[in-house]
A and B are shown apart, each in its own frame.
Chain A
Amino acid sequence: MERLRFWVQALWFFFSNGYWAFPASGTLYQGPLKVLCSPGLNCYSCPAATTFCPIGSLQQLLLGVHLALQNGQAYVGSYVLGCMGLLGTICGRLICGWACPFGLIQEMLYRIPSPKVAVHGKLIWGKYLVLLVLVVLLPLMVVSDFGVGLPWFCKFLCPVGTLEAGIPMLLLMPDLRSAVGVLYLYKLCVLALVLIWSVAAFRPFCRTLCPLGAFYGLFNRVSLIRLKFNADNCTKCGACHRVCPVDIRVDQLPNSGECIRCLRCCTGACQSNALSVEIAGYVWQIMRHPSDRPCAKRGCL
């Protein structure tokens, strides 16, 4: 299952970043696919990006709400919010585990042999704070005299923009290099910290800072695709908790907002068929493949 998940993640990475003609064209993708919502966090300023980033676009619309309303345009982010809400209601955080390009990058870094550390439990609330304050409130409320705000999350925190767009665009457009300043260096430091943290901890950005993960996490309990726990079959062995890379007590909170639906608990841990996947009311017991041996160590890949 882990191998399948890796290939699905890799496919989504290339679907979301499928414009490989950018070195020849010298600019980013301009085609009609960019009206489609990327399910994962994927900067639309990346020269290879073929879809729009939901968090980036939502912020751009929210920061310009005052000006748009003054001009009689009702651009309040409903199209982007509708896309995000539909994805969240259908999949929940399954998207984080299976379709997010930056999630894949963090997981690849976590495979580097090194001492591993846990993410402190209280830090998981950070992403909800980022969603509320940096993505929604500040762009809406802190506006210039012209009625335009700032993309606070993208500008001051998002490491994806630096990695996928900042560095490639500077290589692609030499004219931009003269504009590099303190902000760019600060964002390079944020990116470096997140990447180093990802070597030591499993998906630290997704678990502590990602506003898209926070949004999808709100839907985990009600989404059409979710985990189903059968208490009658559970032997309380704790194997599901031991293999969970995001440290969830699966037998107590199978649909926690932290669960990214990697399904290791279903395929690599539970021997008693206490865990299954529910898709739109239908319950599927995933049979273990011979290669999915029970994994005793947390975070094993």
Chain B
Amino acid sequence: MTAPPIRTQQTNSRSSSRFRRTPLILLLVFLLVLLAGIAVDEPARVLEQARSVCVSCIGIG
């Protein structure tokens, strides 16, 4: 059983109405937030948490 191919058609090269700045600003903001987290070594803390079993999260303890 294979998925049917999806055919797409590009109707116009650019959304003619307006260039949307909001998602670009949001991308930039969240990228900075992400980099701030990396700068304080938060990924190491996240990794440490994710490698252990959170007993209270799974309903034990």
Contacts and interface: CB of A to CB of B under 8 A. Distances in A.
Interface of A: 1, 3-4, 7, 28, 30, 32, 34-35, 43-45, 49, 51-52, 56-57, 60-61, 73-75, 77-86, 89-90, 150-151, 154-155, 158, 161-162, 165-166, 169-170, 173, 176, 179-181, 183-184, 186-188, 219, 222-224, 228, 276, 278, 280-287, 289, 291-292
A223 B42 CA distance: 26
Contact of A73 (B12, B32, B33, B40): B40
15 contacts: A3-B4, A4-B4, A30-B51, A32-B47, A61-B42, A61-B45, A79-B34, A85-B26, A151-B54, A154-B54, A154-B56, A280-B23, A284-B11, A286-B6, A286-B8
B37 A78 contact: yes
Contacts of A51: 50
B12 A283 contact: yes
Interface of B: 1, 3-15, 19-20, 22-23, 26-27, 29-38, 40, 42-43, 45-47, 49-51, 53-61
Contact of B37 (A80, A173, A181): A80
Contact of A284 (B10, B29, B47, B49): B10
A61 B9 contact: no
A188 B59 contact: yes
Nearest to B60: A179
Given A188-B59, A276-B11, A3 B42 contact: no
A187 B30 CA distance: 34
A7 B34 CA distance: 31
Contacts of B45: 61, 73, 75
A272 to B, nearest CB: 14
A253 B53 CA distance: 41
A101 to B, nearest CB: 16
B20 to A, nearest CB: 7
A84 B26 CA distance: 12
